[in-house]
Structure 1
Amino acid sequence: MSMVSRRGLLGGAAALAAALSGCSLRGKDVSADAQKAAEAVDGVSSVALEQRAGANFERLLNGRIEIAEEDRATGIAVYDDAMRVIVTVIHDRLDDSEARSLRVGGIMAELADGTELDVFVLDPDTPGEDPRLDQVHAGAFYGRYGLT
C-alpha cells in the first residue's frame, strides 16, 4: 500500500493554490464597454456596471441603469434597449460559453420617479417556474435580442 506523505500532500495543495491564483474568476471584464454602450441609449440618464465573481464562483455583471422617464411602459422600453446593447456587448466580446453564462439578473433600472425595475419585466427565457434574479444569465436574452 502506498501512502501519500504529508509533505507531498502540502506541496500538491500549494501548487494547486498557485495555479488557481493566476486564474481570474472574473474572466474578461466587459463592464466598461457595456456601460458605455448603455449610456448611449436614448432615455438613459446614467449607468453603473460592475463585473465580479459570485459566492459560488459564477460570474456576475451587476449594476444600475437610471432612466429619465417616469412612465412605466416607456421606462421598460428604455430598459429593454439598454439591456439589448449590454447583452450584445457581452455576446460580441466574450466566447460563446462565457457570454451565455454571465449572470446579468443584478442589472436593475430606476425610473425618474424612483420606481425600480428588474430583468423579469423583460421576460427573459428562464428555466423553472420561480427563477431568482441571480440565476438570470445573458443567454436568457439571446432569443429576445436575435443573438445566436
Structure 2
Amino acid sequence: MSMVSRRGALGGAAAAAAMMLSGCGLSGKDVSAEAQEAAAAVDGVTSAVLEQKLGSRFQSLLRGRLAIAESGHEAGLAVYDEAMRAVVTVIHDRLDDETARRMQVGGIIGVLTERAELDALDLDPDMPVEDPRLDRVSAGAFYARYGLG
C-alpha cells in the first residue's frame, strides 16, 4: 500500500469516527422507553416493545412490535393508529424538530390477536414519503395526520 492510499484510508476512518461522535449517530436522546410507555397506555394495546437504533444510513430509527387485543382489521387499525399517534407525539415533544421529523418509525409493527400484522403504510397507503418503503417512513410523515407542527 502506498503512502497516499494509507493516508487516504486513515483520513476516511477518522472522518467516519468523527461523524459518529459528532451527533450523526444515536448520541442524541433515546426516546424508546417513553414512546413504548405511551404506546402501551393506549386502550387495546396489550404490550409494546420498542427500541431506538442507528440505521444503515446513519439515521435514527425506532422499531418494534405493538400487541393489539383485536382480531378484526378495521378495529385493529384504529388501535394501531392511536398507538402510532402516541409514539409520534413523544418523538415530536422530546426531540428537536429536525431530529424528530427524520426519525424513522416504519419499523413499528402492530400485531393483531390472530397474528395479522399492521404497518405504517396500512394507515395511509399514499403516505408522503420519498420511497414507499417502510424503512423510509419518518415521524414527520405523520405530523399532518396527527395535527403536529
Q: How far did 1:13 drift?
A: 5.9
Aligned to 1:22: 21
In 1, are the aligned partners of 2:129 and 2:137 still within 8 Å (CA)?
Answer: no
Aligned to 1:126: 128
Q: How far did 1:18 drift?
A: 5.7
CA shift in 2, pair 1:120/1:15, >3 Å = closer
Q: How far did 1:21 drift?
A: 5.1
Q: How many residues align?
A: 144
Task: Find the residue that maps to 1:125 and give its secondary structure.
Answer: coil
Task: Find the residue that maps to 2:36 and give its secondary structure.
Answer: helix
Partner letter of residue 34 of structure 1?
A
Greater share of residues in helix: 2
1:59 matches 2:55 = no
Unmatched runs of 5 consecutive residues or more in structure 1? none
The separation in 1 between residues aligned to 2:135 and 2:6, in whole angstroms, is 41
1:107-146 mapped onto 2 (5 Å cutoff): 107-123=108-124, 125-127=127-129, 131-146=132-147
> TM-score, normalised to structure 2's length?
0.85
User: Could you say which structure has the larger radius of gyration?
Assistant: 1
The separation in 1 between residues aligned to 2:52 and 2:34, in whole angstroms, is 11
Q: How much identity, in percent, do the aligned residues show?
A: 56
CA RMSD of aligned residues (A): 2.3
Aligned to 2:47: 46
Unmatched runs of 5 consecutive residues or more in structure 2? none
Task: Find the residue that maps to 1:47 and give its secondary structure.
Answer: strand
Deviation above 2 Å: which 4+ runs of structure 1?
Answer: 5-24
After TM superposition, the structure 1 stretch with the greater mean CA deviation from structure 2, 71-80 or 8-17, is 8-17
Partner letter of residue 29 of structure 1?
D
CA shift in 2, pair 1:104/1:18, >3 Å = closer
CA shift in 2, pair 1:72/1:96, >3 Å = same
> TM-score, normalised to structure 1's length?
0.85
